[in-house]
Structure 1
Amino acid sequence: MHVHFIQHVHFETPGYLLEWATAQQHTISYTKIFEGDPFPAADNIDLLIIMGGPMGVYEEDKYAWLATEKAFIKEVIAAGKKVLGICLGAQLIAEVSGAKVYPNAQKEIGWWPIRKIINEKTLPLTETLPDEFITFHWHGDTFDLPAGAVHLFATSICPNQGFLLNEQVAGLQFHMEATPSLVQQMAKYGQEELVTAPYIQTAGQMQELSARYAAAQQKQLLDFINRFLTL
């Protein structure tokens, strides 16, 4: 399988997703926005994975490339390819699918619990995941669910944390791909956001909790993506 990553900033790498793709011996390619890379032909990829970033989907006046990326994501979806969006990636998918993206009431940064929505539509994808688990978050925006999307995950302060669209496209607001080193990099380059707030942990807390939760999260990511690809 040919897996193509869109990476928006140098410090938000694919993390465990890259380890998974490498272990499966998939062909891997990148569009690194921060290096000005072009987008490939949609027909040449099997799975598009869109990573996160500190920008908002509504900031096209500040980041002109957003319009081009949105058009590419639409093209890949229309071509029937599997698409997975993480954080900003999920927000981009939501917007190109007709949903609104906007600032959440509070930022959610650090290792926080998330619960899965359980019903007959979600179980084929999330049945092997715990009903509630600790995962890594770094987001200030949220999205409405696209029309027809299956609601997958929620937290107390951000109800729309994940969705599945037509068994082909998935968006996750949180970061199951986060390795301890990725958490460290995000804390380093996003330290201005680490203010005192109810759902924002310190860099030290995040590193301590990475040692506790990252290994379990890696297994949860593998469970999720393997089921997603077989839908």
Structure 2
Amino acid sequence: MRVLAVQNYRGTGLGQVGEALAEAGAEIDLRAAYMGEPLPRSHDGHDALIVLGGEQNALADEEYPYFPALLRLIRDFGDAGKAVLGICLGSQLVARAYGGENILDRPLEFGWHEVHITEAAADDPVLSAVPGSFPIFHWHCDTFSLPQGARHLASSERTSNQAFRLGRAVYGIQFHFEADRKLVGEWNALFGEQIRESQPGWLENYAREAASVGPAADAAGMALARAWVRQV
């Protein structure tokens, strides 16, 4: 199993998805596209595609000129029946690739908050792996409309479209289920000044919040990660 993972921003990692891939013995081909590392022209040579998050918006083609090629690559994998996973910005790019609208500059959704799965998720191969409601980490302002034909799988109080699936295994997941407490702690260190400005008190209260909500969030995230890997 060989999986292409595309990084769009510094500090983004595979987290629990990487752990689930390691359990399955997968080879990960990690491309820092935002740093100019080239993307493959097609799905040939890879069994699945992961598109990670980032601070930029999904329409920022001028600042990130590889975006159009990434959109084509997403479609290429999906149309070939291969598994695709877009997380946060990645989900917005998957939505865009399949004709969804990118909706920018909404109020920030940050921290551990509840996500609720829809009735359509009850028999979904990935989202059925978690309870009907579970806490998970969020960090985004932008969102998207569902592409035509997408199955709506999850929502939160602030964001109606938190997860969707197209075809067999093309997933867009807005929330950061890959981000366990270890990865969130790394983001606290790396982006501390930015977090302090937008979320006063988060860093000071983080340890208490992580102890309270983190175990359940990590368990849900790992269940989703393993379920997605089974679709590869």
Same fold? TM cut 0.5 = yes
1:183: Cα distance to partner? 1.1
Pair 1:158 & 2:159 matched:
yes
1:194: Cα distance to partner? 4.7
For the 8 Å contact 1:183–1:210, the answer to whether it is kept is: no
Q: Which residue of 2 aligns with 1:36?
A: 36
For the 8 Å contact 2:99–2:148, the answer to whether it is kept is: yes
* Percent of aligned pairs sharing the same letter: 29
Are the structure 2 counterparts of residues 149 and 26 from structure 1 closer, same or farther at C-alpha, using a change threshold of 3 Å?
same
What count of residue pairs does the alignment treat as equivalent?
A: 228
Pair 1:78 & 2:79 matched:
yes
Q: Which residue of 2 aligns with 1:203?
A: 203
1:211: Cα distance to partner? 3.5
Q: Provide TM-score, normalisation by structure 1.
A: 0.88
Give CA deviations for 1:42-84 in whole Å, capped at 9, x if unaligned.
Answer: 1111111111000101111222222222222222222221101
Determine helix, strand or coil for the equivalent of 1:151: strand
Q: Which residue of 1 aligns with 2:194?
A: 192
**Aligned residue identity for 2:183:** L
Q: Which residue of 1 aligns with 2:100?
A: 99
**Aligned residue identity for 1:81:** K
Which ranges of structure 1 fall in alignment gaps of 5 or more residues?
A: none
Are the structure 2 counterparts of residues 146 and 89 from structure 1 closer, same or farther at C-alpha, using a change threshold of 3 Å?
same
**Aligned residue identity for 2:216:** A
**Aligned residue identity for 1:23:** E
Aligned mates of 2:150, 2:19 — CA distance in 1:
29
Aligned mates of 1:123, 1:26 — CA distance in 2:
26
**Aligned residue identity for 2:44:** D
Are the structure 2 counterparts of residues 31 and 230 from structure 1 closer, same or farther at C-alpha, using a change threshold of 3 Å?
closer
Are the structure 2 counterparts of residues 23 and 100 from structure 1 closer, same or farther at C-alpha, using a change threshold of 3 Å?
same
Q: Which residue of 2 aligns with 1:130?
A: 131
For the 8 Å contact 1:183–1:207, the answer to whether it is kept is: no
Aligned mates of 1:178, 1:201 — CA distance in 2:
20
**Aligned residue identity for 2:171:** A
Q: Provide TM-score, normalisation by structure 2.
A: 0.88
Are the structure 2 counterparts of residues 196 and 85 from structure 1 closer, same or farther at C-alpha, using a change threshold of 3 Å?
closer
**Aligned residue identity for 1:142:** T
For the 8 Å contact 1:180–1:211, the answer to whether it is kept is: no
Aligned mates of 1:189, 1:94 — CA distance in 2:
27
Q: Which residue of 2 aligns with 1:221?
A: 221
Give CA deviations for 1:125-169 in whole Å, capped at 9, x if unaligned.
Answer: 333311111100000000001111111111111111110111220
Q: CA RMSD in A?
A: 2.3
